[in-house]
Structure 1
Amino acid sequence: MKSTLKAALLAIPLAVAALPTYAANATTRWVPTATHAFLTSTQLRAFAERPQLEAAAGEPAHVVVSMKVRDFGKLRDLAAAVTRPSEPSYHQFLTPEVFLEKFAPTARQVERVVAYLRQNGFVNIEVSKNRMLISADGTAGTVKAAFNTPLTHISRNGRLMHANAAPAQVPDTLSDSVLSVLGLQNVTRAHTMARPGPRTAPKSAAAGVEQGHAPLEFAALYHASDLPTAAQTSVGIITIGGAAQASDDLAHFTSMNNLPTIKASTVRTGNPGGDYSDDQEGQVEWDLDSQSIVGAAGGEIKELVFYAADLAASGNSGLTQAFNQAVTDNRVRLINVSLGWCEADAYSDGTVAAEEQIFTAAVAQGQTFSVSSGDEGAYECNNRGYPDGSTYSLSWPASSPNVIAVGGTTLYTNSSGGYANETVWNEGLDQNGKLWASTGGFSAYLPKPSWQHSLNISPAPTGRAVPDVSFDGAQSTGAIIYAAGQSMQVGGTSLSSPLFVGFMARLQSANGNSLGFPASSIYAAVASTPSLVHDVTSGNNGYGRYGYRARRGWDYPTGWGSFDMAKLAAYVKSHPFAR
């Protein structure tokens, strides 16, 4: 721990003695938050080689407190109403200023939580612009004092980690303000959905020719070439760490292809003193995202903003801050997220509750988060893709009903290089026994949205069904991108989602950036006009006799399939599609 932090922590108890009003004590009546005990018996079996001792009181800890929206039910209703043509508030999108006035926690609520954190030993307290998140540095001891839960060490693959062994709680005087406490576990973290591999030679198959494609080729393959470019639309990409290398590689990509220079910038979204260096594990991902978006967008977008999460943030709290910053800024219409992690873990540590508020606000503002559905087939939570029979699971945040979840296909071309066919992307098991396939299924935690109530599928989903649509995601038919001085071919649903974003950016530019969150419109449009999509009817996303199979209409591996963008653009011009 830095000496300045040590000195600050040593000074805090004096302040606590002077201000006892908010500090927890022996008579405190504790109430639960949405952060559950992460170290359940199930978690211990899944992650721990052997349980460890409680973390020492002085061990550093970083938390992000998620505050409650003042009237989440009303915000949900507004988010639905602005996308429903029959509603009086249709297309009257919320602004960040109105959100702050009507829905954000009050300044007084924030003051009380900040005072409570400070009095319990936390320092470096930062409040987000929209008052939804409060970050702070402390120790395992301050966590235990403030949230009535110990941090416990566990060991996995020789790495020592920590997580909360009891639910995070707050005094009942703060129950109307605090929703969840993030950062109490660093056992599971979001991972990218890119599937890099070697350049492959064209290979003939019964469905057509299987080969890689330059990012600019996808527009013709999905019939988007006649649409305007996305020159009038701004796009965001969520990253973990910085994107300096990706920005350089994007400049090389545009120069190589004689494209206009893309105005790109990076916004640091968490702790101002955090780590925003380039994460080498993520650079191929951000290259794939940016070059695929620009390629699908016709070579032009108005602005590209990398919303960088703090690499040093505990658990996935940095991503929550990045999502929140993109919504608070309201600077971009479309935000790509090629990241995900086990839905059950995200629910347990309070992330689902925190981020659902953020995604709901985005929908109310007319913004669209596009999220890769996952590369683990039906087994996201089973050690990231290792098959486990009929025990299926999903990836978060793709399972949110307030994002568009994009699955993966294998894209085949005909003899003249045009679109021929698509099947479910499923590479089978790699040499380590991990499945690589399009993730789909239904949520165990998030409700089925109204626009999915009429889905005719077996088994019937009891929660939010994933994905909504799909685009190319196979490594063998993936994007040929430029990355740090070399060319490589990359697939995964990390390709599928950026393709959707690039194509939707063209639709936005063609319609004066007037389109809102398109989920309900997509389901209504395709149900009434099936020709809008390439229906994927072959393949499955499991292994052996398990997983889900593709079928006519909507299915779990690919949703509705992929759009024929020319037909969708024509439909949007003549129907109230997301506007």
Structure 2
Amino acid sequence: MSGAFGRFWSLGFLAVLAAMTSSVGLGQSLSVTSPRLPIDNSQRVTLRGNTHPLAQPRYDHGAVVDSFPAERMLLLLKRSPEQETALRQFIEDAHSPGSLSYHKWLTPEQFGRLYGSADSDVAAVIAWLQSHGFSVAHVSKGKTAIEFSGSAGQIRGAFQTEIHTYFVLGEEHHANDRDPQIPAALAPVVAGITSMNDFKPKSYSAMLGRATYEPSTHQVKPQWTLAGSALALAPGDFAVQYDLNSLYNADTNGTGVTIGIIGASNVDPEVVAAYRALFGLPAKALNVVIDGQDPGLNGAALESYLDVELAGAVAPGATINLYTAADSSLQSGLNLSALRAVDDDEAAVLSTSYGNCEQVLGSAGNQFWAAVWEQAAAQGQTSFVSAGDGGSAGCDNFDIPQVAQQGLAVNGFSSTPWNISVGGTDFFYSTFNGTTAAQNAQLASFWNLTPSGLPANSLLLPIPEQPWNHAFGLNLSTRGVFSSNSPTIVAGSGGASSCTSGVDASNGSFASCSSGYPKPAWQTGSGVPADGARDLPDVSLFAAAGANYSFYPICAFSDDCIPAEGDVRIVGVGGTSASSPAMAGIMALINQKYGPQGQANFTLYPLAAQHPSVFHDITVGSNNVPCQQGTPSCAFSTLNDNTKGFYTLGQYYAAAGYDQATGLGSFDAALLLEYWTSLHFTPTTTTLNISQTSFTHGTPVTVSIDVAGNGGTPSGNVGLVTTASPSVNTGLGELPLESGTVSSSFKDFPGGQYSVAAKYAGDTTFAPSLWQLLQLQQPFIRQSFQRRQLRLRLLHHHRCPTHGCQCRARLDGWHRNGNRQLCRYGEHWHDQFRPCQSHLQRCR
């Protein structure tokens, strides 16, 4: 494998900074302790975007009593910009063949030591929590979060927010009524609180109902209405669809690999054992890891059964760990389970079949899942997350028979750059709108309708696929015709990340979205939208729930999968809740052969470009869904397809290459493993030219960058970074290449003398490259400082009477310089924190 496909955002998080500066190496800890001043509780900052959007006055029934329990809450810690830079660089190197750090994964303790908050910072936060009466359980190994417990009264005293009771659609909920606040001194190390409400994540499973299953003939007699034959996709059939049998025959079955299922309910291991026995899978004990209290068998049990059974069916030799935890009054056990699975670091592959849209998660929720999956990637864990079951309408409730009303959105659990988002497909029969006779004839060409007893297969050969879509799918059950009398948005989800930050509403939730995750540099290739955003899904597998008569058979009740007079009971299910653990099972086979892979998208995207035969490119259908006229993104369709004449969201359609309906598509598992390590990247040369290297601050300067490589034209982005201090000044912009070149004018180079570099991020064919450093010098003009200070004085009417520009402690990013103090991050004027114009400007 030539070159290095190690790249994230080429600039977004300054991945080259650590390599450009010599003060900190990747092998040494960046958790530097420093003295702390007493924390002033009167000086506070608000943690914006941390109120649930349904915590609205119209649902509010008042504050709970002060003694209301607030248990197992998580205070999310924040690393410094320098640490984040070094971490991104490490992750890039760890996924770059040829790098000294390639696949040198970290342990959770190493992760915390290298990239977590300083011990003194953590101690200061813990002391502050305890001073408000909270009990602190522990700090996560990776220093991602602090678990603490207390009461609603203590929350009000510490965070200046109240826990209220809300009745929403007849259900009682509890949530904070406004954004929490923390002392300003803690702001550099505290990112948010996860969570402060009991609105639970959605399960992405679609249950059809119970059925009887005849093992000798594979005939299913459903207890739900089905227009045609019930064709269950049993484990042997899944192996035919995705070409797994040759791998099984070579003993590639996941042996030695642990898959971690993150679930919200416990299961009965005997039911799981009965499933394995029914479908001819080897006996394998299930490990249940309970974090805190046992949630027991609850309403989420179906999801847990689906996940552990399907992951174990696809990787029958793998060890399955189910991580679960009980909910508390203000905390989802799913958050606790995910953090435990990553901190345990026993499972090299993780699967999560839950989610909430980015807007519902809010700032702290999005930061939590990004932090958890980022730690997992650094540890070599591959995290699969269901894309969702609401089509392109990621915020709407797909369990209710109604059209979309909240516009385009995606699942925030699945939209981070550190996880693999798994979408859903259904089978596609070209006779979907033909006669019954034609449909039956085509079904018989793919399915053996009179098979022998289990574990024989019913599926004869792989079936073409389409995006899973109940409303506008090209389905046998509807003949491709949508009926407005049966509204639904059930479909495999996808789209662009758009709401990890937003404009605050009066109640603290996001009134509107401002941006999502930037597009990771590995997300390139044919069909990938040039939208600058992280797009979902990455890959897809079968997830359907009967629209074309097929579904997954599982066991979820105590009497399931036990033969009784020839028949056994099963449950018919679908959803991207199935495609995620199935993908985790396939990943376990890759890990058995090649070891832990971390963020496998570093390989999947170039693999699709260099070896397209690996993927089943899906080019028909969509995950477009109907919507309510007058709601966001909703428009009257005039397309010449089955959406014509209906109001729809208009997105997203399957097409050649990548698309936001099925990602890269599904794949042939045997070819996936065969070509996994066969990637080749053509070396490139990046050339940087700057029109001036010595100029006055604010002067427009033209930057020209060329990237060249043999055999084609490099595409993607080039990042422009500097070694200027502080780190907030190091990122100048990310520039998209056009025909291998880009030219742009900048006037925001920071002041001072420093180096500048251009880094090409690479694409699916060409390797990254870095242009040598150029030295820039920008002398500051005294008069310009005076003008800025005068403007500030006019804004505030007068300067602070005694201290003027007041330098804060190290916790807020200030640096002491003998008896004089050097302003590094900003000025303090009347308790208003304002950015410095230069790290050279001294406090007076």
- 1:336 equivalent among 351, 359, 376: 351
| Inter-partner Cα distance in structure 1 for 2:619 and 2:229 | 18
1:286 aligns with 2:304: yes
1:346, distance to aligned residue in structure 2 (A): 1.2
Deviates more, 1:429-438 or 1:211-220: 429-438
Aligned length: 534
| Inter-partner Cα distance in structure 1 for 2:129 and 2:375 | 26
- 2:598 equivalent among 504, 511, 516: 516
Compute the RMSD of aligned alpha carbons. Answer: 2.8
Local SS of the residue matching 1:293: helix
- 1:307 equivalent among 294, 307, 323: 323
- 2:338 equivalent among 317, 320, 323: 323
- Residue correspondence of structure 1 range 343-358 to structure 2 within 5 A: 343-348=358-363, 350-358=364-372
| Inter-partner Cα distance in structure 2 for 1:321 and 1:239 | 10
1:193 aligns with 2:198: no
1:53, distance to aligned residue in structure 2 (A): 2.6
| Inter-partner Cα distance in structure 2 for 1:430 and 1:238 | 37
Contact 1:540 1:548 in 2 (8 A): yes
1:121 aligns with 2:133: yes
Distance 1:285-1:570 versus aligned 2 partners, 3 A rule: same
| Inter-partner Cα distance in structure 1 for 2:136 and 2:236 | 45
- 1:52 equivalent among 54, 61, 65: 61
1:338, distance to aligned residue in structure 2 (A): 0.8
1:163 aligns with 2:171: no
| Inter-partner Cα distance in structure 2 for 1:209 and 1:530 | 34
Alignment partner, residue 536 of structure 1: 618
1:499 aligns with 2:553: no
1:465, distance to aligned residue in structure 2 (A): 0.3
Contact 1:320 1:351 in 2 (8 A): no
Local SS of the residue matching 1:31: strand
Alignment partner, residue 18 of structure 1: none
| Inter-partner Cα distance in structure 1 for 2:204 and 2:276 | 24
Deviates more, 1:397-406 or 1:127-136: 127-136
| Inter-partner Cα distance in structure 2 for 1:451 and 1:443 | 16
Alignment partner, residue 278 of structure 2: 256
Deviations 1:275-331 (A, max 9, x none): 42122x22221111112112111x221x21111132225243x32322221111111
Local SS of the residue matching 1:136: strand
Alignment partner, residue 538 of structure 2: 468
Amino acid at match of 1:405: S
Distance 1:346-1:430 versus aligned 2 partners, 3 A rule: farther
Amino acid at match of 1:50: Y
- Residue correspondence of structure 1 range 160-309 to structure 2 within 5 A: 160-186=172-198, 188-198=199-209, 199=211, 211-227=231-247, 228-243=252-267, 245=268, 247-269=269-291, 272=292, 274-279=293-298, 281-297=299-315, 299-301=316-318, 303-309=319-325
Amino acid at match of 2:536: V
Contact 1:473 1:495 in 2 (8 A): yes
Alignment partner, residue 451 of structure 1: 522
Local SS of the residue matching 1:230: coil
Q: TM-score, normalised by structure 1?
A: 0.85
1:566, distance to aligned residue in structure 2 (A): 1.4
Contact 2:136 2:146 in 1 (8 A): no
| Inter-partner Cα distance in structure 1 for 2:612 and 2:245 | 21
1:431, distance to aligned residue in structure 2 (A): 7.9
Alignment partner, residue 465 of structure 2: 422
Local SS of the residue matching 1:240: coil
Distance 1:110-1:136 versus aligned 2 partners, 3 A rule: same
Deviates more, 1:328-337 or 1:215-224: 215-224
| Inter-partner Cα distance in structure 1 for 2:606 and 2:273 | 39
Distance 1:475-1:354 versus aligned 2 partners, 3 A rule: same
Distance 1:454-1:209 versus aligned 2 partners, 3 A rule: farther
Contact 2:390 2:397 in 1 (8 A): no
- 1:79 equivalent among 85, 91, 108: 91
Contact 1:367 1:517 in 2 (8 A): yes
- 1:368 equivalent among 382, 388, 403: 382
Gapped regions of structure 2 (runs ≥ 5): 1-36, 212-218, 222-227, 429-442, 449-459, 472-482, 499-515, 561-569, 626-642, 682-763, 765-844
Distance 1:180-1:384 versus aligned 2 partners, 3 A rule: farther
Contact 2:524 2:605 in 1 (8 A): no
- 1:387 equivalent among 380, 403, 424: 403
1:95, distance to aligned residue in structure 2 (A): 2.0
1:37, distance to aligned residue in structure 2 (A): 4.2
| Percent identity between the two aligned chains | 28
Amino acid at match of 1:74: A
Q: Which has the larger radius of gyration?
A: 2
Distance 1:404-1:326 versus aligned 2 partners, 3 A rule: same
Distance 1:215-1:314 versus aligned 2 partners, 3 A rule: farther
Deviations 1:448-498 (A, max 9, x none): 11112445356x434210000000000122211122123112111011111
Contact 2:59 2:166 in 1 (8 A): yes
| Inter-partner Cα distance in structure 1 for 2:237 and 2:605 | 27
Local SS of the residue matching 1:435: coil
1:24, distance to aligned residue in structure 2 (A): 6.2
Distance 1:210-1:72 versus aligned 2 partners, 3 A rule: farther
Distance 1:94-1:124 versus aligned 2 partners, 3 A rule: closer
Amino acid at match of 2:540: S
Deviations 1:226-263 (A, max 9, x none): 111111211110011323x2x22221122334433213
| Inter-partner Cα distance in structure 2 for 1:515 and 1:397 | 20
Contact 1:241 1:311 in 2 (8 A): no
1:408 aligns with 2:424: yes
Deviations 1:59-84 (A, max 9, x none): 32232111123522221221222112
Deviations 1:161-186 (A, max 9, x none): 23223322211222232111122122
| Inter-partner Cα distance in structure 2 for 1:137 and 1:107 | 21
Alignment partner, residue 525 of structure 1: 607
| Inter-partner Cα distance in structure 2 for 1:248 and 1:433 | 39
| Inter-partner Cα distance in structure 2 for 1:576 and 1:178 | 42
Distance 1:277-1:89 versus aligned 2 partners, 3 A rule: same
1:197, distance to aligned residue in structure 2 (A): 1.1
- 1:558 equivalent among 662, 674, 682: 662
Distance 1:222-1:419 versus aligned 2 partners, 3 A rule: same
Q: TM-score, normalised by structure 2?
A: 0.60
1:570 aligns with 2:674: yes
Distance 1:354-1:264 versus aligned 2 partners, 3 A rule: same
Amino acid at match of 2:599: F
Deviates more, 1:138-147 or 1:386-395: 386-395
Deviates more, 1:326-335 or 1:404-413: 404-413
Contact 1:377 1:436 in 2 (8 A): yes
| Inter-partner Cα distance in structure 1 for 2:573 and 2:666 | 19
Deviates more, 1:215-224 or 1:558-567: 215-224
Alignment partner, residue 69 of structure 1: 79
1:441, distance to aligned residue in structure 2 (A): 0.3
| Inter-partner Cα distance in structure 1 for 2:581 and 2:485 | 28
1:193, distance to aligned residue in structure 2 (A): 1.1
Distance 1:157-1:514 versus aligned 2 partners, 3 A rule: closer
Contact 1:210 1:411 in 2 (8 A): no
Amino acid at match of 2:102: Y
Please identify which structure carries the higher helix content.
Answer: 1
| Inter-partner Cα distance in structure 2 for 1:409 and 1:475 | 10
